[in-house]
Amino acid sequence: MPDNNTINQAQEKPVKKAGPFKRWTEAHAELWKFIKFTFAGASSSVVELIVNTICVSWIFISLTTAPDSGVLGYICNLLKLDNMGVFYSYMISTTVGYTIAFIINRKVTFKADSNKALSITLYILMVVFTIFANAFIGVYLTKFFNTFWGQSVIRDMVIKAIGMAIPTLWTYPLNRFVIQRRSKASYVPGYLSNKQIRQLPQEQRAQAKEDNKRIFAEYKIAEKERIASEKAAAKLEKSQGKSK
């Protein structure tokens, strides 16, 4: 058990000042989440492309037969997949890419603590919808660009870039507010989780919810004041350094 001197030394240890980058990310928390989300998507897309190239070029290169005419044939036709080798490559690489994005966003971007099984289920539903939505978006974008822009590599890249950007309209909000949720109880001191509130006697639950609102409002004010204070201190320190 630590003695009093050790405790006092730990209490007297100066708190490390937040650097400019840390202060910026705290002051622009939502924008910083979106930047990390975009980076996670870009990183997973690079890995997905590499895995797909390896599968198409080496692993499934001999599978050149056309897809079946049933449901599989319809899916391949919708996604513009030419043969079974391309189909398997697409399924494997897409699974790898979306899995990496899920892990990065859960652990780094949103630091989620929501139920993992529910998050995975909702994420899979979102991914399936996004895959088929991308197919339809690609078809209509191609038709639209064909009306004024002849086929070229640049045009195809523009279509691909727009097609990749559009799903962000629903993938970010769904990840941020539904799939990868983080409870306020995990970072706001004194804030009770829904589970903790349900464990209280019935007559205390309404008051606990009101207390949560007050605690969170006070937390936001304190955080804004802290960030503003750190900015002012950094600005003062910088100006004093220049005057020397």
Domain presence at residue 115: yes
Does 72 share its domain with 147? yes
Burial of residue 11, with CB atoms counted within 10 A of its CB: 0-12 exposed, 13-18 middle, 19 or more buried: exposed
| pLDDT on residue 116 | 94
Given a cut of 70, whether residue 10 has pLDDT beyond it is no
Q: Tell me the per-residue pLDDT of 27-40, one tens digit each, with 9 for 90 and over.
A: 899 999 999 999 99
- Mean pLDDT score of the chain: 88
Same domain, 145 and 199: no
Give per-residue pLDDT as tens, 80-99: 888 999 999 999 999 999 99
Higher pLDDT, 18 or 195: 195
- SS3 assignment, position 200: coil
Rounded CA-CA distance 27/173 in Å is 20
Q: What mean pLDDT comes out for the span 197-208?
A: 95
Total number of domains constituting the chain: 2
Q: Please tell me the distance from the alpha carbon of residue 33 to that of residue 108, in angstroms, as a whole number.
A: 9
**In a domain? residue 9:** no
> 40: closest CA among 128, 91, 112, 141?
112
Contacts of 41 (CB under 8 A, 6+ apart): 101, 168
Tokens 């929501």 map to which residue?
114
Q: Is the dihedral of CA 17, 22, 26, 28 positive or negative?
A: positive
Give long-range contacts, CB 8 A cutoff, 24+ apart: 138-144. Answer: 138/80, 138/163
Q: What pLDDT, on the 0 to 100 scale, is given for residue 198?
A: 94
Print the domain residue range for 230.
Answer: 194-243
The mean pLDDT of 41-45, rounded to a whole number, is: 94
For the record, the structure tokens of 160 come out as 């691909």
- The rounded distance, in Å, linking the Cα atoms of 229 and 223 is 10
Query: Are 54 and 150 in the same domain?
Result: yes
Q: What is the DSSP letter of 175?
A: I
Percentage above 70 pLDDT, the chain: 91
Residues 51 and 167 in one domain: yes
At residue 70 the predicted structure's pLDDT band, cuts being 50, 70 and 90, is confident
CB atoms within 10 A of CB 89: 24
63 and 143 within one domain: yes
pTM comes to 0.82
Kindly tell me if the per-residue pLDDT of 233 is higher than 70.
yes
115-147 confidence digits (pLDDT tens): 999 999 999 999 999 999 988 888 888 888 888
**Helices and strands, number each (H, E), in the chain:** 10, 0
Residue 149 scores a pLDDT above 90: no
